[in-house]
Structure 1
Amino acid sequence: MDYDKFIFCLEAVRDVETETTTEVVKNLEQLAFDQGITSIHKTCDTIEGLEDSLNALLYDDHNFKDYEIIYLVMPGEANNVCLNEYYYSLEEIAEIFEGKMKGKILHFANAKILDLSQEEAQYFLDITGARAISGYGAAFNKITSSSTLDKAFFSLCQDEDDVIEIVEELHQKHYDLCKHLDFRLYY
């Protein structure tokens, strides 16, 4: 299948100067090979790197409108991400990308838990313009979301525009894994 919706993956690493092929890269390559879903993978080790990468995508890539999913693979806690031992709240990140994520789904791998109050989620969505924010309530525990559930989620996002339908179908097809990792979507 040839899809016209792409994935932009931004993965936190200790040092962007060190080149390594992570599990995430391998899974994205497999997704492209198996399902034809195109992605771009970038790494960052600072908040400035995160901002520069997303701004480059936003302003320099003429296909930005085709990137439906912004896939963030970074450690952190309920309402923040950690880059090189510095914590940044999702509110801070929302303000950096104010109005720039219109129609996008920001999806966090289970390298961090995503546990937002309704107010926090709504603030993030309102400020960024994102269509939804998704992730997991259970952090990495011998099961990485990128190997199975993230790929299934991305595939469903290619075929369906209604986020509620996507979540329902994801739960129908992968109920045990959704339950175990506590898949969450705020919209």
Structure 2
Amino acid sequence: MDNEKFIFCLEGVQDVDTVTTTDVVKNLEEIAFNQGISSIYKTCDTIEGLEESLNTLLYDDHNFKDYEIIYLVMPGQENNICLHDYYYSIEEIAELFEGKMKGKIIHFANKKRLDLNDEEAQYFLDITGARAISGYGSTYNKIASCSTIDKAFFSLYQENDDLTEVVEDLYQKHYALCKLLDFRLYY
């Protein structure tokens, strides 16, 4: 696929040894089939597993430059993730990704709130080298972002590199859902 922007998805699960097909997997398969957007899907149940998966992608996958979206589907509370009953702050995540995310978009599904102030957002971007960080400010969990708005975001970004235009289009096409879930992009 020429000039495709691939997705690398890491989903936090209770136990990586228990194999289940989650809604995230189904939605990534649907995105691949309907929109032609390829992805790699991995699960992790510890911070070490997250780091190992990320390092495998960085150092062993020669197509890493094609993975422009790092999609994190992990539970947590505001500005942190929870893996194996431990909470990790956005600052700890930034340090884990230090210098490794140059030009990437780090996108959090709506399993946790993302509510950064300007200083926190800039710290994350500076430490990781990421192009942007996105997620949702709402804790409304009756609608999984992976089934609707995330797919739209990925599709729009596939067509356009200008993030402000992508967000404008996303709000134009899915205004009610963007407002309900409080879609946010920090860049």
* Structure-2-length-normalised TM-score: 0.97
Instruction: Write the letter of the residue equivalent to 1:15.
Output: D
Specify the SS of the correspondent of 2:158: helix
Q: How does 1:130-141 map to 2 (within 5 A)?
A: 130-141=130-141
Q: Report how far residue 20 of structure 1 moved.
A: 0.3
Tell me the residue number matched to 1:104.
104
Tell me the residue number matched to 2:167.
167
Between the two proteins, what is the percent identity of the paired residues? 78
1:75 aligns with 2:72: no
Query: Cα–Cα, structure 1 residues 151 and 113, in superposed 2: closer, same or farther, change >3 Å?
Result: same
Listed one character per residue, the Cα deviations across residues 46-94 of structure 1 (whole Å, up to 9, x for unaligned) are 0000000011001100000000100000011121110011000111111
Query: For structure 2, which runs of at least 5 residues remain unmatched after alignment?
Result: none
Instruction: Write the letter of the residue equivalent to 1:28.
Output: L
Query: For structure 1, which runs of at least 5 residues remain unmatched after alignment?
Result: none
Q: Within 1, Cα distance between the matches of 2:156 and 2:141?
A: 24
- Is the CA contact (8 Å cut-off) linking 1:112 and 1:140 kept in structure 2? no
Q: Within 2, Cα distance between the matches of 1:79 and 1:22?
A: 23
Listed one character per residue, the Cα deviations across residues 139-167 of structure 1 (whole Å, up to 9, x for unaligned) are 24210000010000000111111111110
Tell me the residue number matched to 2:119.
119
Tell me the residue number matched to 2:56.
56
Specify the SS of the correspondent of 1:76: coil
Aligned residue pairs, count? 187
Q: After TM superposition, what 4+ stretches of structure 1 lie above 2 angstroms from structure 2?
A: none
Q: Within 1, Cα distance between the matches of 2:118 and 2:43?
A: 30
Tell me the residue number matched to 2:182.
182
Instruction: Write the letter of the residue equivalent to 1:186.
Output: Y
Q: Within 2, Cα distance between the matches of 1:100 and 1:175?
A: 33
Instruction: Write the letter of the residue equivalent to 2:102.
Output: K
Q: Within 2, Cα distance between the matches of 1:167 and 1:44?
A: 29
Q: Report how far residue 29 of structure 1 moved.
A: 0.3
